[in-house]
Amino acid sequence: MFNLSKKMLLSLAPNHYDINFVAVFSVVFIFLVSKAWRRVTSGKNDIPGRLGLPYLGETISFLSATNSTKGCYDFVRLRRLWYGKWFKTRMFGKIHVFVPNPEGARMVFANDFVHFNKGYVKSMADAVGRKSLLCVPHESHKRIRGLLSDPFSMNSLSKFVKKFDKMLCERLKNLEEGGKSFVVLEFSMKLTFDAMCNMLMSITEESLLRDIERDCTSVSNAMLSIPFMIPGTRYYKGIKARERLMETFREIISRRRSGKESPEDFLQSMLQRDSYPSSEKLDDSEIMDNLLTLIVAGQTTTAAAMMWSVKFLDENREAQDKLREEQLSITRSKPEGASLALEDLNSMSYGSKVVKETLRMSNVLLWFPRVALNDCKIEGFEIKKGWHVNIDATCIHYDPDLYKDPRQFDPSRFDEMQKPYSFIAFGSGPRTCLGMNMAKVTMLVFLHRLTSGYKWTVDDLDVCLEKKAHIPRLRNGCPITLKPI
């Protein structure tokens, strides 16, 4: 009797497989309903993404990507796979939206100071200074930018080209005579740093240059870090290095004002405005913050681009040969041993395309950050006041709808006019990179002397990126050995 009752009960109860089916069905049903509910309640214009915990958000994931050999952009790349081209996240206490197309870029760049202002994470603003051109509000930006423009005028660039060319030739000759492999990134970092310090402050003393360079490197390393003053951290080291640099700059300014030094350079041109109205001059803190900004920004971005140009040209011999042919024709048209002039650079048609293609592929500025000043919409997506909006140059530059075979190095693609806002290596609008022309001439001089005087072999083909760098750079720095033509 008992066995019969047990069988009857078991026949009435669902079997093990039925229970599993119901459980799985329930989970899937709840997931779909909750997803549909989120879509209804959030609205069709809500940007997908994950904000995580207040303040922390996905900061740890971002720093983890930064600390990997794939680089910090791997954080963005993964989220695009999960959410699509448009996504939002939370980092360093702020909500960030990544803008992936030229239409969105145009909306943001064209409305700088109207709906958007420059937006950097706290560690970056602390490193370069609150009165840096990168960080100041609208009311100060126009004045400071205008006063900083002198080193980048055509007259100043003409002088710079000759000095830089002479410095480069001497250093390449020394490397050739040594006959040893050298690291392009290290070479270009030191070269561009020394050139910037010479142009801005007439500093040529080797020991002082190296002291300033070490501190500038610490400042650069602190730009993407958690902003807590804990001894031993990158942020702590960067802020301490900044304090030393400010003291060095103060001492130089003091000597200039006392009449002990008065070279013709950018700093002197600023100090000569001491008697001008406040609207027509920079105060000392503005001068010092922007000296640091110009040095760090000018060195790190241009040096990285020079390194990438060597790598890309090594991998594309057809482009290298075509560039060499153009550069040799310029060499043959000048007296032997003559320095390059700005006019020579203007005739480097293919060289200019090599520079543009290098900047498109290397993306030394991965994205351009802005902060929304008001609630607004971009491409139909709702942006809240205070959100950080990042114009994703990397996504735009690698979009196959804009560039055929975007991962192929092809300078000739710039034979044709590009779609507006599809090439934004220097940004756009009122905040277009102030040093754009200097970066171009620096790279052209470098490419001229390298390809017209030498061939080279890359001694390490490792493509892993340097860890903890806010600018994509090869971990090995691209070591090469020169062979004179």
Q: What pLDDT was estimated at residue 302? A: 95
Question: Is 447 exposed, middle or buried (CB count within 10 Å of its CB: 0-12, 13-18, 19+)?
Answer: buried
Helix axis angle for 206-221 and 184-201, nearest 10°, is 110
Higher pLDDT, 466 or 29: 466
For the cut 60, the answer to whether the pLDDT of residue 436 exceeds it is yes
Q: Is 433 annotated as a binding residue?
A: yes
Confidence of residue 28 (pLDDT cuts 50, 70, 90): very low
Q: Cα–Cα distance between 284 and 249 in angstroms, integer?
A: 9
Q: Is the pLDDT of residue 14 over 80?
A: no
Judging by beta carbons within 10 Å of its beta carbon (0-12, 13-18, 19+), is residue 342 exposed, middle or buried?
A: middle
Q: What is the pLDDT of residues 145-192, one digit of tens each?
A: 999 988 888 889 999 999 999 999 999 998 888 778 899 999 999 999
Calculate mean pLDDT across residues 283-287: 95
- φ/ψ region of 44 (left if φ > 0, alpha if ψ in -120 to 50, else beta) reads alpha
pLDDT confidence of residue 401: 96
Which long-range CB contacts under 8 A does 339-346 form with residues at least 24 apart? Answer: 339/162, 339/165, 339/166, 340/161, 340/162, 340/165, 340/445, 340/448, 341/158, 341/161, 341/162, 342/154, 342/157, 342/158, 342/161, 342/441, 344/448, 345/161, 345/441, 345/444, 345/445, 345/448
Tokens of 483: 């062979």
φ/ψ of 381, rounded to 5, equals -90, 135
Average pLDDT of the segment spanning 453-480: 94
pTM: 0.87
The whole-number pLDDT of residue 7 equals 38
User: Which whole number is the average pLDDT over 18-35?
Assistant: 44
CATH T-level assignment (fold) for domain 49-484: Cytochrome p450 (1.10.630)
pLDDT of residue 45: 64
Confidence of residue 262 (pLDDT cuts 50, 70, 90): confident
- Residue 201's pLDDT is 95
